[in-house]
Amino acid sequence: MFVLVFVIRDKSFYNMPMSQPKFGLTRRALLRWYGKNRRDLPWRRTRNPYAIWIAETMLQQTQVKSVLPYYRRFLRAFPTTRKLDRASKEEVLALWSGLGYYRRAENLKKAARIIMREHRGKLPRKFDLILALPGVGPYTAAAVMSIAFNQAYPALDTNARRVLRRAFNSQKEKELWEAGHRLVAHPQPGQLNQALMELGATICAAQEPNCPLCPIARSCAALKSGRIRSNRLPATKRRTEIIQWPLVVIENRKRILLRRRPPGGILGGLWEVPGGQRKKGESLETALTRHLNGLGKTVRPESFVGEIRHAITYRKIRAPVFFSSGNRKSLQ
């Protein structure tokens, strides 16, 4: 496949990152490319504000391929704000299980209650009112406003920021937002926002941008100046934290004891078998005793079952699992 990139010989064009002709050229190129190359995703086939809100919440810090099955199941179970509001917290968290960042699900539930009580069951059409909902930040609010309500708000996620930073040489936060606002000042702001994000996700990558296939390469300031690789957001890698988390499975009469974790913190409000985090320098036995004291009886683990290994963002959890039959010898 051959792609012709036409270069504008007037160098002053590239040195005017906020010039109106450049915005016009960029808009046309983005919309034309997006119309032909966008991925077929279910939330792009609708302008239903509720569905878009759910999708954008799920997509926060989560890859598209991971979101797809959850999005479909969630909307089948809770197709409207009313259904979500009436569902129990346990039902919502059960459908969210495995997607991570469970506070997003809790915030959706809280926001659904507010929407039902204060907005007659419909997402408000004002940016500030959407922004005030639990779990909604400037990006999510702008995405809903532009895609569902066709209002000109720039939705700047990591991908969109990267494209704007390179295309318009926008280094400062104020410059990024100015470029975003001017770009989406158009009859199709939602399409432009999605085109920016799609371009950043598929072509204008952080490490290996595929400039020959980029629809806006002809007007890209970073490409013209030879700074395409230096003009990228600095990588922020958090140090991995290893957590020891011993657990005891207590079974008695074919029933397994579960308890709910306190709200807040890691996996707040979810159900678990007894156990918890081991402190630095603490023995395994001491950690188990400390976490099991609240059961009212002293639990004596009878056998070691194995170890569960799991990762949550930068945390690596090592959970040695023990078994207790719950009989008189193990419960005192």
Residue 270 CB partners (closer than 8 Å, separation 6+): 93, 102, 260, 261
Contact 273, 308 (CB under 8 A): no
C-alpha 31/C-alpha 127 separation (Å) is: 24
Nearest Cα to Cα of residue 57 among 117, 103, 94: 103
C-alpha 76/C-alpha 98 separation (Å) is: 17
Q: Which position among 56, 173, 285, 307 bears the catalytic label? A: 56
- Helix (H), strand (E) at residue 180: helix 173-183
C-alpha 25/C-alpha 218 separation (Å) is: 9
Contact 70, 99 (CB under 8 A): yes
Q: Is 56 a catalytic residue?
A: yes
Contact 165, 173 (CB under 8 A): no
C-alpha 307/C-alpha 303 separation (Å) is: 12
Known catalytic residues are: 56
